[in-house]
Amino acid sequence: MKSFVWLESARNSLGRFCYTDQMERVYSEHSPIFIHHLKDILEEKGIAAIIKNEFLSGGAGELPPTEVWPELWVVESEDRDAAKKIVHEFIESTKSISKDWLCTVCGEKIEGQFKACWSCGSVHNTG
């Protein structure tokens, strides 16, 4: 796994992280949990990323809602295209989750991401 030396080089004299002109916004979303997950995925792939606007949700109402959404930024502009591709592929993969289904053996309602019934163990036939 890539070590993020950029954190040290992007700190000011007080040790605080400084934004640089090399940073590029990759994605914005109302859910901080989703943004954090995307950040983790990028960092697993060796792309340094930060989250901006993480604590601005309290400003919603006074500010337009989309302006206070958390934003995912890559630290190095040359990582932007790769990061956008990774984010897009992940978002598309979440759309492939099937709809909820009823188990034909016991009648239990099962969420779409599961392929087997949690109650009786029968496997769902998706064909």
Tens of pLDDT, residue by residue, the chain (127 residues): 344 444 455 556 666 666 666 789 999 998 999 999 999 999 999 999 999 888 877 777 777 777 888 999 998 889 999 999 999 999 988 776 678 899 999 999 998 888 899 999 999 876 5
* Tokens linked to 36: 């954090």
Q: How many helices (H) and strands (E) does the chain have?
A: 3, 5
Query: Which residue has tokens 């991401």?
Result: 113
pLDDT of residue 70: 92
Cα–Cα dist 72/88, whole Å: 13
For the packed helices 32-44 and 80-95, what is the interaxial angle rounded to 10 degrees? 120
Are 42 and 21 a contacting pair, CB within 8 Å? no
What single letter denotes the amino acid at residue 85? K
Residue 13's SS3 state is coil
With respect to CATH, is domain 6-96 assigned 3.30.70? yes
pLDDT of residue 65: 77
pLDDT of residue 55: 80
Domain boundaries in the chain? 6-96, 98-127
